[in-house]
């Protein structure tokens, strides 16, 4: 998902387009030379215990990451309704309520559409 959903300037990679270095059954064929954006990135599923097994990106069809007070969710456009399904929508609303209490928010991207989740 992180090699597909986000845009990556250093690679000239648009959003929702699989990186040219990502090869099925091999992974990143440019791993040793991958740019800093790839080296430094860890999604919330890897770092945040609040995301249970159901958030594994291949299962959820979503990629979640934090930037300061903002939690961003990129949804695979091939599964554009995934974030509105259980258990995801309920968790997103709960996180939005928690974030709002400290001035933060939860944003969902589905292709070119963007939504602010209400808690
Ligand atoms: S360079 Fe490698 S790690 Fe970075 S997006 Fe492409 S395939 Fe993924």
Strand, helix or coil for residue 58: helix
41-97 pLDDT tens trace: 999 999 999 999 999 999 999 999 999 999 999 999 999 999 999 999 999 999 999
> Which atom of ligand 1 is nearest the CA belonging to 20?
6
- Give the pLDDT of residue 88: 98
pLDDT the model gives residue 83: 98
Kindly report each contact of residues 86-92 with a partner whose C-beta sits within 8 Å and lies 24 or more positions away, as own/partner: 87/54, 88/54, 88/55, 88/60, 88/62, 92/117
Q: Quickly state the pLDDT bin for 23 (edges 50, 70, 90).
A: very high
Other Cβ atoms closer than 10 A to 65: 19
Q: Whose CA is nearest to atom 5 of ligand 1?
A: 3
Give Cβ neighbours of residue 62 (< 8 Å, ≥ 6 apart): 1, 55, 73, 74, 75, 76, 82, 83, 88
Please tell me if the CB atom of residue 61 comes closer than 6 angstroms to any atom of ligand 1. Answer: no
**Centroid of ligand 1 to alpha carbon of 99 (angstroms):** 30
Which residues, 6+ apart, have CB-to-CB distance to 108 below 8 Å?
72, 73, 75, 83, 92, 114, 115, 116, 117
């Amino acid at each position: 998902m992180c090699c597909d959903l986000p845009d990556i300037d250093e690679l000239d990679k648009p959003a929702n387009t699989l990186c040219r270095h990502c090869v099925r059954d091999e992974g990143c064929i440019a791993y040793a030379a991958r740019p800093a954006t790839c080296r430094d990135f860890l999604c919330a599923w890897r770092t945040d215990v609040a995301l249970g097994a159901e958030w594994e990106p291949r299962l959820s069809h979503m990629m979640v990451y934090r930037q300061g007070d903002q939690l961003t969710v990129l949804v695979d456009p091939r599964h554009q309704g995934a974030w509105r399904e259980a258990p995801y929508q309920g968790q997103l609303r709960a996180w939005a309520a928690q974030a709002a209490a400290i001035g933060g928010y939860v944003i969902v991207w589905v292709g070119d559409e963007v939504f602010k989740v209400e808690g």
